[in-house]
Structure 1
């Protein structure tokens, strides 16, 4: 019985935070640990099963746009256990706070963790996705000894503040369906030009998505191997062999699922990554094997053709969008809607390169039209231009209520109730069901009291705020 109790207690450690004792689970995620300097903010923590305070550990600070600290820490769990990292994952909801508040909270969290846990201060890393990647890649400006940044789908780079005397490793991770994939490659070239160590990974995903655990684990091996090369982690040949075999297994999975070109690209990146560890020959043999497969060359050609077409489409979209906005050309809204429909068809096609390209182009159209929408709404542009970009947004992002609200507001203020009612119904056809917001649209108060407005709301939601039985 005594031995059993000792085993149970061994899975926990007690730490002192803010003059309070907290129980930390070893080999599991402990959530809601407070950031004492910023009341109301917290983070989740993962420490490996064999964690001990008697040695110093590498650490990764993780930032998720929605502040899903525990969920995100679990994504890093496999890598943390296998490669011996502590994971501190923020619960900051990045989309709801100004950037200066976010950086202040993130810095406070980092300082408190570094002061509380036995961390190797030369092996401090950040990781983030989307807005979280921007936060993570900005923190080396504050913490000068940062060893590396893992950025998923986005990054922050300011050449004026980058300290070239304190180089760190930059690992980019991009979804094959994410329109930001080329931006990530540009970030990589930027760091390559500065002679910072770099690496890049691709996964089957789109914008605002984390890759799965195996992809994250493979990416983190870049930090691990770089630390070994620099003598900051012990050179354990058995450990290095295991990391190599895990990555080779991932490449083999791509090959077995007939993603030959993706498997070749993966091996090509591995060749540089493992060049100092004696695996060059086995990687080269596997690359030759894949090149002999019948579909490798066709997949390679499909990929290159899709990329060339995509870049041309992006340039055309940018030019035509600017031209249509300046002239408020409502006649061309149908052309933009047709582009979206055609890309939606391509998304569902069997040709993977074209399907991924369609995902990226749709994401790109959403991005550029939202950017223009936000800028125009803040400006003193004429009402017809504001209505045009709003109508265009409903053609590009059919389920986004923001543009519908703006059309209802602008059309009402312009005395065009017919257009306002038309777009109210179009919004409700998308499945939108927040009745309270339908009665809080700026500038549409008088319209919201009309029988016509309430009849449409009742038709789709079953009730309305000011509906009465006399309404037909």
Structure 2
């Protein structure tokens, strides 16, 4: 399917006729634009307030792992306005739904190329988690699409393909310091540094989530610099000089703070991002010296130790989950559930006892990794309509987590099995655990059988009323 998607996008990129006529509003979030050729597919969109079909515009295609197109649009619309690009996000692409993701991506690509005057030299993709992998897949698999850059939040490359060309899409990756995929993003940074591929990696304080708006703006600012460097857009010397000065200041701050990895990032930018734009020979020498220094070797060693420690911290839970997946008898299943529960509780206790420092970050990442692994196993079962297995995984993680998400998924699995009472109980716990958005219930297809139920309607109304206070 993904091979077909790449071929289809290539055909669309080079042959689909543009139709610039459109009557969409400018300067506001549009939560649903139906695709003309496939009205069952849609995307959210934002057009800059000064949008006109009389010129070509750069565009960013976004992918959320839950098909929530409006989410990234609302988060980053100010950057789209400031830097003047069309911003669209699929309402169909989501984790564990390859067919819907491919169909929605094809439809969105075709519709935007028919609807808007796009600057084909400045086409970008962005995404969070599984959406980051989808963004990377579109960029790497469809070479004819000529994607200039990828902005990946909370994840790295797609599973089935890796960059093989130094002149391929530039990669800006951002990740939270307690994101379970921190180690993946750090490994990619190390790889791209060794390969000489264009990259920038930024870490923010937080869990697995879309990056903060200021980092997305930094990403688009960097993409604009790369576009000037690659002659994809006219060069603006004032912009280049200001960016260069900022990187010089970042290098000075890193030296003052004795932050070797931050210094590496600053020197790498001053050398690679400004090649052909500024005379940076002195920084090339400084970069070469830093890369051969004991300080950098020690910093990389400590970084890799964190990666190893995270893997070690998840070993017991991962082993139990693997046994659970392979269990062929009720006895084996019960033993695996008991072992997984014990391992998860032990890890959670370690997180709660370790309040600060690097060890705390490592343990938080490890528990988040086990949490995500368990949820994803359950979601895969839910997608395959093995609802009893899905319920098993969601029940397991709900016993060790106070988050609302496991309870919502547990309600989904129970509803699909006709367990009305159990589903409503899980929804009640979900709300008490902190769920705020009534749309999470109203738009959940797995809860369709409960729509007319008075208790379900009461729960939805309670969320709506609490949101109005």
Q: Give the 5 Å matches for 1:420-431.
A: 428=429, 431=432
Whether the 8 Å CA contact 2:229–2:274 is kept in 1: the answer is: no
Paired residues for 1:269-348 under 5 Å: 269-276=268-275, 277-278=278-279, 305-319=305-319, 321-322=321-322, 327=332, 328-329=334-335, 332=339, 333-346=341-354
Deviation at 1:64, TM superposition (A): 2.7
Q: Shift of residue 331 of structure 1? A: 5.5
CA contact (8 A) 2:65 2:95 kept: no
Q: Report the alpha carbon displacement of residue 324 of structure 1 after superposing the two structures with TM.
A: 7.2
Q: Mark the CA change 1:250 to 1:130 in structure 2 (over 3 Å): closer, same or farther.
A: farther
User: Alignment RMSD, CA only?
Assistant: 5.2
CA distance in 2, matches of 1:250, 1:75: 26
Alignment of 1:401 with 2:407, yes or no, is yes
Which residue is equivalent to 2:362? 357
Unaligned 5+ residue runs, structure 1?
1-15, 289-295, 414-419, 443-456, 462-472
Matches within 5 A, 1:126-145: 126-140=125-139, 141-142=141-142, 143-145=144-146
CA deviation vs aligned residue, 1:170-204 (integer Å, no higher than 9, x gap): 33222221111222345556777876533322222
Give the Å deviation of 1:52.
Answer: 5.5
Cα distance between partner residues in 2 of 1:299 and 1:387: 43
TM-fit CA distance, 1:133: 1.7
Structure 2 counterpart of 1:169: 170
Matches of 1:214 and 1:304 in 2, distance apart? 28
Aligned: 1:158 with 2:157:
no
Shift of 1:303: 5.6
The answer to whether the 8 A contact 1:138-1:156 is kept is: yes
Give the secondary-structure state (helix, strand or coil) at the position aligned to 1:310.
Answer: helix
The answer to whether 1:108 aligns with 2:128 is no
TM-score between the two structures when normalised by the length of structure 2: 0.65
* Aligned: 1:118 with 2:117: yes
- Is the aligned partner of 1:184 residue 2:188? no
**CA positional deviation for 1:364:** 0.7
Tell me the equivalent position of 1:366.
371
Shift of 1:92: 0.6
Asked if the contact 1:62–1:136 (Cα under 8 Å) also holds between the matched residues in 2, the reply is: yes
Equivalent residues of 2:73, 2:87 under 8 A apart: yes
Shift of 1:283: 10
List per-residue Cα deviations over 1:12-37 (Å, max 9, x = no partner): xxxx9796633423xx6555444222
Deviates more, 1:99-108 or 1:390-399: 390-399
Partner of 1:198: 199
Contact 1:146 1:168 in 2 (8 A): yes
Deviation at 1:264, TM superposition (A): 3.8
Indicate whether 1:43 and 2:48 are aligned.
no
Please give the secondary structure, in 2, of the residue aligned with 1:104: helix
CA distance in 2, matches of 1:376, 1:110: 30
Number of aligned positions between the proteins: 399
Distance 1:188 1:115 in 2: 36
Whole-Å separation in 2 of the counterparts to 1:189 and 1:299: 12
Give, in angstroms, the shift of residue 221 of structure 1.
3.6
Q: Distance in 1 between matches of 2:44 and 2:23?
A: 16
1:426-465 to structure 2, matched below 5 A, reads: 428=429, 431=432
Task: State the distance in 2 between where 1:57 and 1:386 align.
Answer: 44
**Structure-2 separation of matches of 1:252 and 1:137:** 33
Distance 1:193 1:304 in 2: 15
Change (3 A) 1:109 1:132: same
What corresponds to 1:4 in structure 2? none
* TM-score normalised according to structure 1 size: 0.64
Alignment of 1:75-114 (within 5 A): 75-77=75-77, 79-80=79-80, 84-95=83-94, 98-114=97-113
Distance 1:165 1:300 in 2: 23
2:240 equivalent to 1:235: no
Distance 1:157 1:94 in 2: 16
For the 8 Å contact 1:46–1:86, the answer to whether it is kept is yes
